Amino acid sequence: MTANGCKIREQVLALLARKDYRPLNKADIARELSLTGAQRNVVRNTLRELERAGVIARIRKNRYVLPAEADLVTGKLSIHQVGYGFLVPETPGEPDVFIAAENIGTAMHGDRVVVRISRDAPYGRIKGRREGRVIRILERAHDTIVGTLQRSRNFYYVVPDDPRFVHDIYVRPASQNLKEDRRSQTAARVGDKVVVRLDAWESRHVNPEGEIIEVLGPATAPGIDMLSIIRKFHLPAEFPKEVLDQAERIPDKINPRQLEGREDLRKEFIVTIDPDDARDFDDAIQVEKNKNGWRLGVHIADVAAYVEPGSALDREARRRGNSAYLPDRVIPMLPERLSNGVCSLNPGVDRLTHSAFIHFDKNGVAKSARFSRSVIRSAHRLTYKQAYAILSSPPRDQLGERLHLAWELASLLRRKRFEHGALDLDFPEVKVWVDKQGHPIRLERVENDESHQLIEEFMLAANEAVAREHKKRTIPTIYRVHENPDPGKLAEYREFVLSFDYRVGDLTHRGELQRLLAAIRGKPEEQALKVALLKSLKRARYDPQPLGHYGLAKTNYLHFTSPIRRYADLVVHRSLGRDAAARRPYRMDMGEIASIAQHISATERNAADAEIDGAQMKKLEFFQRQLDQRNPEIFRAAIVDVRNYGLLVELPDALITGLIHVSSLTDDFYSFEPARRQLIGRRSRRRFKIGDEVSVFVARVDTFKRQVDFTIALPSQAPRKDSRAGRRKQVSSR
């Protein structure tokens, strides 16, 4: 912005802040500031920029005000699939605003909007929350929507894949779709997955309209579901030719010049531990014990040795921000030649690394750390299952001895971490295994066992050590931050916890939160309560300042251990220094770091949402295939809520929620007791309440609404409680 523009910006803000100011339009503002000619154009641009930034707001008749003076709040809209929404304000610490369905207007999920707070709002709808109405859409989150083409008697329409987009989108007749698109050989047909570009939508009384710009293919065809996820979340499907060409020019083997100045660790006993199907191994470990304590070595792939700042590889990695992991594919941050090849710490081959050596005393307290560019040769590549098997039996060889020694240190670090206030927010995961056509064939619950915990503790230790080094040397970099939660949201969460009959105090005290997490461990409602807690906490993000990590109870923390799949880690490797001993780091200014931090926080959230969406889609297909085969599996389930229309259950071995409709409880007539949130059988007096475990099988799948209905199985069909084996009995519905 020019000096003249900055001056006018200050004048505009000063005018709007005057106590005697009355809302004016842009012409009146220019007149009030005695501006003429070219200055009026500057005023228009300034007002537009200030409005887009949320600094000022435009109200009726295009008049401008400061948001606080008119009870206006700017933020991102989050819509629930039943229609209502919440505004998440841009101002840190400001509470969310409830938006009733009738007050959303034409805003859609993810839009950046201005909301007017309703002073006479019916607060009873959402106790303690402010309520408002969308008055302006500043920025659309999406200009395209992915969905399925359908047809009524008179028109064609697209049903969005995301149930939070509650309106169908009208499109032109199928015979006209893509008529002018020479790249398309066929027009869209009913049942196809398509990408629609939205037209301007001005009135909520009519459905939005749009134009089909891409036909992905029949919704049921192999791979189309994941392709729709890629389009929906705008994930990059291919690397530009320039990037691939640059990657191809990187030699497969290390040349002698690359070893100059590196610490040679090729004779050290170093191992990697990763998931069964992992191909990008970016971290390796070694542990030694001596009379004074422990020496931990964490060796991370030196991606910075291959990806130069500002290169085509670097620009593309920065744009992507991170890798995304869908059930049937990986969308990597770096081309496969690097991610699975020259950067991956494969066993038995020389690899360039960046090493962190941390010395702990006998009590597990970090006493010192040093960092070095190095070269390693991994001795073993272990899967988590292999490592767990070794840890579950006495050591039989050098590998077993080293792994048991490593767990001895990791368990000590883990115990001390929780003693210092860390929260146990680990979740079990469910991996969806697919066949070559992408169809789901098995759900496997992945437990956070000792093998996972071992790697987790060492990566946390390395990340913290590198963060302390950056802070000590005042080197600008990107930190991983998790700010303290809003007390109001914790108070709401406490009310939710009380409904499960847990005695709980003030959850703003970390100790009370830790006691709650310990009390629910292993209980049927653990998953539901943990998910609700996460929603009450702030979301972790990247930031130029070391603001601390609430969940981990760490003052200094960043990401260093996964540069193959996270751009944040690559930035940290560069800032730590190409020659850490010589202390000659690669430096960026704070403005650039802040910009990168904001960007990769957004790409991380987007990738996480895509991964969740992809897994959910495959789970729905898994249950639908069971219905089609008329031989569904029996799963154990926990009742997480009771309503007058049925039981909301969660399947811990599938990590999916669904409904048991009251009409499916055919053994008795059940009535709802709202005070205790129970269903009670009139004749048998059988009770269904929150926390009860039941055995269920799938009854109905609604792929459009992303909902699954279950039916309670007979007692004789109950599954064995063996989540690791993953075996389930089956029931015939023929």
How far, in Å, CA of 177 to CA of 180, rounded?
A: 8
Domain boundary residue, one of 84, 111, 139 = 139
Q: What is the mean pLDDT of residues 234-250?
A: 96
pLDDT tens figures, 244-281: 999 999 999 999 999 999 999 999 999 999 998 888 89
pLDDT-derived band at 426, boundaries 50, 70, 90: confident
pLDDT-derived band at 582, boundaries 50, 70, 90: very low
Q: Which residue has the higher pLDDT, 96 or 104?
A: 104
Helix H or strand E segment including 487:
helix 487-498
Question: For residue 7, what pLDDT is reported?
Answer: 81
Q: Check pLDDT > 80 for residue 103.
A: yes
Does residue 624 form part of some domain? no
- For residues 515-539, b (16+ Cβ closer than 10 Å) or e, as one string? bbbeebeeebbbbbbbebbeebbbe
Does residue 727 form part of some domain? no
Question: For residue 730, what pLDDT is reported?
Answer: 46
Structural domain tally of the chain?
A: 5
Considering the domain architecture, whether residues 281 and 365 belong to the same structural domain is answered as: yes
Considering the domain architecture, whether residues 36 and 148 belong to the same structural domain is answered as: no
DSSP helix, strand, coil percent of the chain (3-state; round to 5):
30, 30, 40
φ, ψ for residue 324 (rounded to 5)?
-125, 135
Does residue 234 form part of some domain? no
Q: What is the mean pLDDT of residues 504-524?
A: 91
Q: What is the CATH number of the domain that holds 32?
A: 1.10.10
- Which is it for the CA torsion 468, 472, 478, 481, positive or negative? positive
Question: For residue 714, what pLDDT is reported?
Answer: 80
How far, in Å, CA of 55 to CA of 67, rounded?
A: 7
**Parallel, antiparallel, or unpaired: how do β-strands 293-301 and 263-264 relate?**
unpaired
Question: For residue 62, what pLDDT is reported?
Answer: 83
Q: Under the phi-then-psi rule, with left for phi > 0, alpha for psi from -120 to 50, and beta for the rest, what region is 13?
A: alpha
pLDDT-derived band at 734, boundaries 50, 70, 90: very low
How far, in Å, CA of 197 to CA of 573, rounded?
A: 40
Considering the domain architecture, whether residues 185 and 322 belong to the same structural domain is answered as: no
Domain boundary residue, one of 586, 612, 638 = 612
How far, in Å, CA of 651 to CA of 638, rounded?
A: 6
How far, in Å, CA of 607 to CA of 518, rounded?
A: 31
Contacts of 700 (CB under 8 A, 6+ apart): 627, 708, 709
CA 426 → CA 53, 369, 429, 675, distances in Å?
Answer: 36, 27, 9, 32
What's the Rg (C-alpha) of the chain?
28
Residue 12 contacts residue 29 (beta carbons within 8 Å): yes
Considering the domain architecture, whether residues 387 and 449 belong to the same structural domain is answered as: yes
How far, in Å, CA of 658 to CA of 654, rounded?
A: 11
Q: Check pLDDT > 60 for residue 125.
A: no
Considering the domain architecture, whether residues 467 and 453 belong to the same structural domain is answered as: yes
Helices (H), 335-441: 336, 384-391, 398-419
Question: For residue 199, what pLDDT is reported?
Answer: 93
Q: What is the mean pLDDT of residues 417-439?
A: 91
CA 26 → CA 14, 16, 23, 360, 410, distances in Å?
Answer: 15, 12, 10, 64, 63
Token readout for 245 is 């060409």
Contacts of 170 (CB under 8 A, 6+ apart): 155, 156, 157, 207, 208, 209, 210
The 10 Å Cβ neighbour count of residue 363 is 8
Q: What ranges make up the beta strands (E) of 291-328?
A: 293-301, 324-326
Q: What is the CATH number of the domain that holds 118?
A: 2.40.50.140
Q: Check pLDDT > 80 for residue 177.
A: no
How far, in Å, CA of 704 to CA of 162, rounded?
A: 8
How far, in Å, CA of 8 to CA of 32, rounded?
A: 12
Considering the domain architecture, whether residues 108 and 168 belong to the same structural domain is answered as: no
Residue 413 contacts residue 461 (beta carbons within 8 Å): yes
Does residue 512 form part of some domain? no
Contacts of 303 (CB under 8 A, 6+ apart): 282, 334, 338, 343, 563, 564, 569, 570, 573
How far, in Å, CA of 247 to CA of 404, rounded?
A: 39
Which residues form the domain of 404?
241-484+538-612
DSSP 8-state symbol, 484 = P
Q: Which of 46-60, 118-132, 153-167, 546-560 has the lowest mean pLDDT?
A: 118-132
How far, in Å, CA of 132 to CA of 87, rounded?
A: 9
Indicate the pTM of the whole model: 0.86
Does residue 533 form part of some domain? no
pLDDT-derived band at 691, boundaries 50, 70, 90: confident
How far, in Å, CA of 122 to CA of 669, rounded?
A: 36
Does residue 683 form part of some domain? yes
Question: For residue 585, what pLDDT is reported?
Answer: 57
For residue 441, give the 3-state DSSP assignment: strand
Domain boundary residue, one of 554, 586, 612 = 612
Q: Check pLDDT > 90 for residue 19.
A: no
Contacts of 506 (CB under 8 A, 6+ apart): 494, 512
Question: For residue 175, what pLDDT is reported?
Answer: 46
Does residue 325 form part of some domain? yes
Q: Which residue has the higher pLDDT, 193 or 34?
A: 193
Considering the domain architecture, whether residues 553 and 436 belong to the same structural domain is answered as: yes
With CA atoms as reference, report the closest residue to 603 among 352, 373, 321, 235. Answer: 321
Question: For residue 128, what pLDDT is reported?
Answer: 59
266: Cα separation from own chain's centroid: 37
DSSP-derived secondary structure for 408-428: HHHHHHHHHHHHTT-------
How far, in Å, CA of 285 to CA of 268, rounded?
A: 10
Q: What is the mean pLDDT of residues 567-594?
A: 79
φ, ψ for residue 399 (rounded to 5)?
-60, -45
pLDDT tens figures, 635-646: 999 898 899 999
Considering the domain architecture, whether residues 153 and 128 belong to the same structural domain is answered as: no
Residue 157 contacts residue 164 (beta carbons within 8 Å): no
Considering the domain architecture, whether residues 266 and 347 belong to the same structural domain is answered as: yes
**Parallel, antiparallel, or unpaired: how do β-strands 85-89 and 97-99 relate?**
antiparallel
Q: Which residue has the higher pLDDT, 70 or 19?
A: 19
Please return the burial class of 666, using the count of CB atoms within 10 Å of its CB with bins 0-12, 13-18 and 19+. Answer: exposed
Q: What ranges make up the beta strands (E) of 26-179?
A: 57-59, 63-65, 72-79, 85-89, 97-99, 112-117, 130-139, 144-151, 156-160, 169-171
For residue 263, give the 3-state DSSP assignment: strand
User: What angle in degrees, to the nearest 10, is found between the helix axes of 567-576 and 590-629?
Assistant: 150
Does residue 497 form part of some domain? no
pLDDT-derived band at 717, boundaries 50, 70, 90: low
Considering the domain architecture, whether residues 590 and 678 belong to the same structural domain is answered as: no
Considering the domain architecture, whether residues 470 and 423 belong to the same structural domain is answered as: yes
pLDDT-derived band at 120, boundaries 50, 70, 90: low
Q: What ranges make up the beta strands (E) of 447-584?
A: 479-481, 541-543
Question: For residue 48, what pLDDT is reported?
Answer: 84
Residue 395 contacts residue 528 (beta carbons within 8 Å): no
Q: Check pLDDT > 80 for residue 609.
A: yes
- For residues 691-718, b (16+ Cβ closer than 10 Å) or e, as one string? ebebbbbbbbbebeebebbbbbbeeeee
Considering the domain architecture, whether residues 99 and 246 belong to the same structural domain is answered as: no
- For residues 219-258, b (16+ Cβ closer than 10 Å) or e, as one string? beeeebbbbbbbbbbebeeebeeebbebbeebeeebeeeb
